[in-house]
Amino acid sequence: MKKIIPPFLLTIVVASAIFIGCSKNKDDRSTVHVRLTDNPYNAEEVNVDIKQVTVKFSDNDDDWATLDTHAGVYNLLGLQNGVDTLLASGTFPGDDVKEIRFVLGTDNSIKISGVTYPLTIPSGSESGLKIKVDKHFANPIDSILIDFDAALSILQTGAGDYKLKPVLKIK
């Protein structure tokens, strides 16, 4: 003889399974992927030396986490027209990101008409480039796409030097 499961018991079992499957991680940790892209700019190369990416996950000034960064020199112009690259990722407590900081190195340059010029950054290598994010993650794994806008970031001085005053935007 077959036993029939009462409908209300079946409903409770299914609802419990859905609730457990959709609940937050036990340790309330989130994983973030920081991706980098760029808008078009009239140069052959715009190279930015990224050493480290850190994330601030609360309003406390001491709550910075260093992400697993793919350090290197990135040609921003290779990251146009829907192309991006994974720059850093990591897991941190909670599900909010307040700020992201790029720590830059000294190997920054711009190539125009076959000539490579150094790009100087007023304070980027000292304090890093900070961008306000204020993003709440609805999922335990999420991505943040940052547009490093070369067209708005490059300034040519009267002496023919080039300065990088980064304009970073969340997309």
Confidence of residue 108 (pLDDT cuts 50, 70, 90): very high
By the 8 A CB rule, do 55 and 90 touch? yes
Could you tell me the maximum CA-CA distance found in the chain, to the nearest angstrom?
Answer: 94
> What's the N-to-C CA distance of the chain in angstroms?
61
Q: How many helices and strands in the chain, by DSSP H and E?
A: 2, 14
User: Percent of the chain scored above 90 by pLDDT?
Assistant: 26
pTM of the predicted protein model: 0.74
Whether pLDDT at 157 is above 90 = no
pLDDT at 22: 40
Overall average pLDDT of the 71-88 stretch:
92
Show Cβ contacts of residue 7 under 8 Å, excluding neighbours closer than 6 positions: none
Overall average pLDDT of the 135-150 stretch:
83
According to DSSP, the β-strands at 64-66 and 109-112 are unpaired
Confidence of residue 87 (pLDDT cuts 50, 70, 90): very high
Nearest to 103 by CA among 122, 78, 130: 130
Whether pLDDT at 84 is above 80 = yes
Overall average pLDDT of the 52-69 stretch:
87
- The Cα 164–Cα 76 span in angstroms is 12
**How distant, in Å, are the alpha carbons of 5, 7, 10, 93, 166 from that of 75?**
63, 61, 57, 32, 14
Confidence of residue 26 (pLDDT cuts 50, 70, 90): very low
Nearest to 148 by CA among 127, 121, 126: 121
User: Percent of the chain scored above 70 by pLDDT?
Assistant: 80
Nearest to 36 by CA among 47, 21, 23, 24: 47
pLDDT at 38: 62
Which one-letter amino acid corresponds to residue 54? T
Domain assignments of the chain as residue spans, ordered by start: 27-170
Whether pLDDT at 9 is above 50 = no
Whether pLDDT at 147 is above 50 = yes
